[in-house]
Amino acid sequence: MNEKREQSVLVQRSWMVAAQKIGAPLISAALAVVVGSFIIWASGYDPRAAFIALWEGSFGSPKAIGDTLLKATPLILTGLAVAYGFRAGLFNIGAEGQLFLGGLAATWLGLSLAGLPWFLLIPLMLLASMLAGAAWAFVPAILKARIGAHEVITTMMFTYIGRYLVSYLVIGPLKAPGQIPQTAELPGAGQLSRIQALFSEATLASFEFLKLGRGHLGIVVAVIAAVLVWFVLKHTTLGYENRAVGFNPWASQTAGISVQSTTVKALCISGGLAGLAGSTEVMGVHHRLFDQFSSGFGFTGIAVALLAKNHPIGVIPAALLFGALAAGAGRMQFQADVPQKIVLIIQALVIFFVAAEEIVLWLIRRRQKEAVSHAG
Amino acid sequence: MLGDIITPDLFASALRMATPLALAAIGGTICERAGVVNIALEGIMLTGAFFGTAMVLLTGSPWLGVIAAVASGAGISAVHAFASINLRSNQVISGTAINLLALGLTGFLMELWYGHPGTTDPIKVLRPIFNFESPGGGAIAEAWRWFDSIVFSHTPIVYLTILIAIVAQVAIHRTKWGLRLRALGEHPRAVDTVGVSVYRGRWVAVLMSGALAGLAGANLTIEQVGSFTENMTNGRGFIALAANIFGRWTPVGSYLASLLFGFADALQIKLQILRGVVSIPPQLFLMLPYLLTVIVLAGVIGRAVAPAAVGEPYEKG
């Protein structure tokens, strides 16, 4: 009798833990949307019209869904980058800079190796972007591991340096002939094709939902990366060490894990993932490099990672949410007149509520404790 | 050519450029001494810059703008205080949220109030306090020109910042308040044990840092640029954090470190006149302050020790 009751309590508790894990981020996102609506309303706009426009612009049609996928692609990768760092106790606030370097490396390689077939060129470009991103994170990583220089400051500084570097290159050495500061267009074999381009006209005519507009194959790269990161974290020594150091560096050191080398690896892998976001942007969306090719995806990646509770698979829905916000923002401005910047505010609120959710969790835990003690 | 670069204005400009960094860095010092990391300095500065400008546009009074900047800086830092002290959130994450919030909020209000993104209309700025006649020719006049430019050419907040650095230095190291502040960052439990509220002490410190970063924003818009542009702080809040570390968590040290970064910034601007002579791209000069920050951090850490309890939320026993 007693055993049975204990078991049911255990089942109840594991349910509660699961609900907590998924429920808490959902509550945070919902709270952010509520406060965001309040701001829209208080500013004299119509929140209903705003959200209808936001919905139509992000999920309202296959083309809108394509736009959401388009925006979610770099966000999955930068979200993974930030999450992987957080799992080792490191805050890679500079994913934006690593993304810039990734885009730069992919573009440079794509233009230099024009003529290679796509099945060689595309993997090479993706790989180059990861290496470049990792290299851009390497100095902050070494400084962190060796002398404890705070990675928040150093990766941020490297972001500015990277952006000026790209800005210089597209105005100078890599500039294509013409007035606009941008590189030449990538060869076709170095571009990630649009999803709808994979299907024939006839197929598209009968399956409307495949008309995903600008949505490109980068999303496949991003999802594969998410699964790989999940696998590495969960099933490899590298991932285990990463999590161990993030959980307790002192205990890990005592247990024989080198905190220094784990720190360097973690930040470089994080940088590599952010770099990959740069190449998919260049290869799938713009097909060339210019100054402003990223609209802050590296920074939004922080919100994505936090909302996903740093879980690599959780990053996918979180990135879809922020991707939808980004995709729908234009239509919201156009249709309901609400400034797009509201999306940034909602992002900030999500981060804030995720960070402040301790108070919610604390309440839940206390209830659970009571439930358990009553049951016992 | 060298004479075009090393002018009295280079040093005067270094002092001007150092001012917003120093104000934010001293704010960071006070905050971290109390045990709270304030990575939100960047966003707070931006908030102050925006509301300061908005107030000047509304009233035409630069001084009311300064007050609005300080008040809005303290206001938005209250969010950070509430999250990191009362809710015991991760302070770095709460700070990141504030940075994003400031970016979004200022951009949103910009479009709401002025109908367009980008830059506001020019505002009435604070003028230099002193305005001396320069004497005639000769070596003495030349020396006076240097002295006048470096010492007497500045706007009020530039002088105020030097005063703030000295007062904060004395307050932190020579007063009872300062002793308590430092104890909050080293051993909050001890402060609690003797019956002083940790929460209250930390709240005061975070609000002060917010007010100072807000003042830094006012200096940027109401004294230096004369208008507000979206995201105009451009990483200064993070450089200020580095200046605070380089200054070893002391106000005067923060000020001196900021002078170094200010000098790099001033030099970078001056060096751009070389462009006509040697073809060096301006972006490489623009990188200079950021590169210097990394180099300085790389050189100083290990020898500088942060307050022991910095970043750790305090739970009442």
Q: Mind listing the pLDDT tens digit for each residue in A40-52?
A: 999 999 999 998 9
Looking at the partner chain, which of A164, A347, A348 has a beta carbon nearest the beta carbon of B286?
A164
Here the tokens at position B128 are: 């230099």
CATH 1.10.3470 residue ranges of chain A are: 62-337
Nearest Cα residue in chain B from A337: B112
- Put simply, whether A235 touches B (Cβ < 8 Å) is no
Ramachandran area for residue B104 (φ above 0: left; ψ -120 to 50: alpha; else beta): alpha
Report the alpha-carbon distance of residue B148 to residue B188 in Å, rounded.
Answer: 47
Residue B303: other Cβ atoms inside 10 A? 8
User: Which of helix, strand or coil describes residue B229?
Assistant: strand
Q: Could you report how far apart the first and last alpha carbons of chain B are, in Å? A: 65
- Put simply, whether B264 touches A (Cβ < 8 Å) is no
Here the tokens at position B66 are: 């300064």
What residues in B contact A150, CB-CB < 8 Å?
A: 241, 245, 297
CB A107 within 8 A of CB A288: yes
**Chosen CATH of B2-127+142-300 out of 1.10.10, 3.40.50, 1.10.3470, 1.10.20:** 1.10.3470
- Spatial CB neighbours of A347, under 8 Å, sequence gap ≥ 6: A32, A300, A303, A322, A325, B100, B104
- Those of residues 309-338 in A touching chain B at CB distance below 8 A are none
Query: Residue A360's pLDDT is what?
Result: 60
Give the model's confidence band at A376: pLDDT under 50 very low, under 70 low, under 90 confident, else very high: very low
Question: Higher model confidence: residue A4 or residue B146?
Answer: B146
Here the tokens at position B74 are: 């303290």
In percent, how much of chain A has pLDDT > 90? 67
Report the alpha-carbon distance of residue B149 to residue A366 in Å, rounded.
Answer: 64
- Those of residues 142-171 in B touching chain A at CB distance below 8 A are none
Report the alpha-carbon distance of residue B316 to residue A307 in Å, rounded.
Answer: 28
What residues in B contact A143, CB-CB < 8 Å?
A: 294, 297-298, 301
pLDDT, average across residues A147-168: 92
Residue A165: other Cβ atoms inside 10 A? 20
> What mean pLDDT value characterizes chain A?
90
pLDDT, average across residues A263-282: 97
Which of the residue ranges A237-241, A308-312, B300-304 would you say has the lowest mean pLDDT? B300-304
Report the alpha-carbon distance of residue A150 to residue B300 in Å, rounded.
Answer: 12
Query: Residue B81's pLDDT is what?
Result: 95
Report the alpha-carbon distance of residue B198 to residue A219 in Å, rounded.
Answer: 48
Q: Specify the CATH number of the domain A62-337.
A: 1.10.3470
Whether residue A318 has pLDDT greater than 90? yes
Whether residue A61 has pLDDT greater than 90? yes
Helices (H) and strands (E) in chain A, counts: 15, 0
pLDDT, average across residues A56-65: 94
Report the alpha-carbon distance of residue B245 to residue A143 in Å, rounded.
Answer: 15
Nearest Cα residue in chain A from B106: A341
- Put simply, whether A42 touches B (Cβ < 8 Å) is no
Look at B245 and A150 and tell me if their CB atoms are within 8 Å: yes
Q: Which H or E element spans position B173?
A: helix B156-174
pLDDT digits (tens, 9 = 90+) for A98-142: 999 999 999 999 999 999 999 999 999 999 999 999 999 999 999
CB A114 within 8 A of CB A194: no
Looking at the partner chain, which of A154, A167, A358 has a beta carbon nearest the beta carbon of B294?
A154
Whether residue A10 has pLDDT greater than 70? no
- Put simply, whether A148 touches B (Cβ < 8 Å) is yes
Nearest Cα residue in chain A from B103: A344
* Spans in chain B with pLDDT lower than 50: none
